[in-house]
Amino acid sequence: MSSPLILAKGLVKRYQGRLVVDHIDFEVRAGECFGMLGPNGAGKTTTLRMLTGLTPREGGELSLFDRFSDPAEAEVHRRMGVVSQEDNLDDDLTVEENILIYGRYFGLRDGEIRARVEALLEFAQLVERRTHAVRALSGGMKRRLVIARALVAAPELLILDEPTTGLDPQARHLIWQRLAALKAKGTTLFLTTHYMEEATRLCDRLMIIDGGKIIAMGEPHALIRHHLEPEVVEIRPLIPPLDRESFSHLPGRIEQTGDTLYCHVQEAAEVMDALRGRRDLICLSRPAGLEDLFLKLTGRELRD
């Protein structure tokens, strides 16, 4: 097996004496999409900043492309593309000019960049917008341009920090298609996201981080099978509030959030049969998913 593109052992980072990344170990293999999930304040952004050389680590070992231990090295930057949360495009330039200027940061000549522009614009579905100023683009177009721009130097590794946050479903699905196509061609993806459907669709493996520690790691469906009952029944009253005591006879593991009861069971039919005839309720049965896993491991309380 080839060496991983990223190998982290015992990564540590503190801010003002507080341990925000707590001796974490993980690896990212060539050609996979690896996801990092966690609530706000879990240590995700700090971990990303250490990987990209924006924040120095205080402890641990980090190997990139099986050769480099310093993410700030120029050779690492040439082989890594980064898509940040913010759309750091130049609004005064056109779509094509944004790609051209960015390519120069990697030492590419204008001829090399222009030879790649057409494919990148096609990838982002922005061919007809090439001469438009960035300020005239929609949010989805801007995100597609940020991703296309990050590919100008044909990176082996693409790091994506919440690439579809704030986008409508159509734009999100288009970006998912484009990222899946990149992976199919051999680009390695490192993804952080708050969209559980995104992680389920794209990630071959993922880690869930909370309090600076990794609390789960593996293939998404394998983690769901390991930690959760296979089915969930959601129960809501037509007219709130929810009287939880009236459901004490139900089987399974029961959680409540507001006026919704979540019944985690082996067979949803048993719960649905027990509630048959209850016209005061809305009941929905579904398979357990990654969001259920995330909430079980990190809790349902709001994080700021």
- Say what percent of the chain tops pLDDT 70: 99
Q: What is the pLDDT of residue 136?
A: 94
Q: What is the CA radius of gyration of the chain?
A: 22
59-64 and 6-15 strand pairing: antiparallel
> Which residues lie across from 284 on neighbouring strands?
234
Question: Which residues are CB-contacts of 56 (< 8 A; sequence separation ≥ 6)?
Answer: 50
Q: What is the pLDDT of residue 302?
A: 72
Residue 67 above 90 pLDDT? no
Question: Which residues are CB-contacts of 136 (< 8 A; sequence separation ≥ 6)?
Answer: none
Mean pLDDT over the full length of the chain: 94
Could you tell me if 254 and 261 are in contact, meaning their C-beta atoms sit under 8 angstroms apart?
yes
Residue 304 above 70 pLDDT? no
Residue 71 above 70 pLDDT? yes
Average the pLDDT over each of 23-37, 70-84, 263-277 and give the range with the smallest value. Answer: 70-84
Residue 74 above 90 pLDDT? no
Could you tell me if 113 and 99 are in contact, meaning their C-beta atoms sit under 8 angstroms apart?
yes
Could you tell me if 6 and 157 are in contact, meaning their C-beta atoms sit under 8 angstroms apart?
yes
Name the pLDDT band for 263 (thresholds 50, 70, 90). very high
Buried b (16+ CB within 10 A) or exposed e, 162-181: bbbeebeeebbebbbebbee
Task: Please state the rounded mean pLDDT for residues 209-229.
Answer: 97
Please state, in angstroms and as integers, the Cα–Cα distance from residue 279 to each residue in 267, 275, 284, following that order.
Answer: 22, 9, 13
Residue 1 above 80 pLDDT? no
- Say what percent of the chain tops pLDDT 90: 87
Residue 200 above 90 pLDDT? yes
Integer Cα distance of 220 and 33 in angstroms: 12
Q: What share of the chain is helix, strand, coil (3-state, %, to 5)?
A: 35, 30, 35
| H helix or E strand, kind and range, residue 297 | helix 290-298
Task: Please state the rounded mean pLDDT for residues 84-88.
Answer: 87
Name the pLDDT band for 226 (thresholds 50, 70, 90). very high
For residue 49, the 8-state DSSP code is: H
Residue 152 above 80 pLDDT? yes
Q: How far is CA 75 from the centre of its chain?
A: 25
Q: What is the pLDDT of residue 282?
A: 96
Strands laid side by side in the 281-287 sheet? 253-257, 260-265, 231-237, 281-287
| H helix or E strand, kind and range, residue 36 | strand 33-37
Can you read off the two tokens belonging to residue 59? Answer: 């402890």
Could you tell me if 227 and 297 are in contact, meaning their C-beta atoms sit under 8 angstroms apart?
yes
Name the pLDDT band for 149 (thresholds 50, 70, 90). very high
pLDDT tens digits for 17-57? 899 999 999 999 999 999 999 999 999 999 999 999 999 99
Q: What is the pLDDT of residue 134?
A: 96
Q: What is the pLDDT of residue 91?
A: 93
Can you read off the two tokens belonging to residue 66? Answer: 């099986």
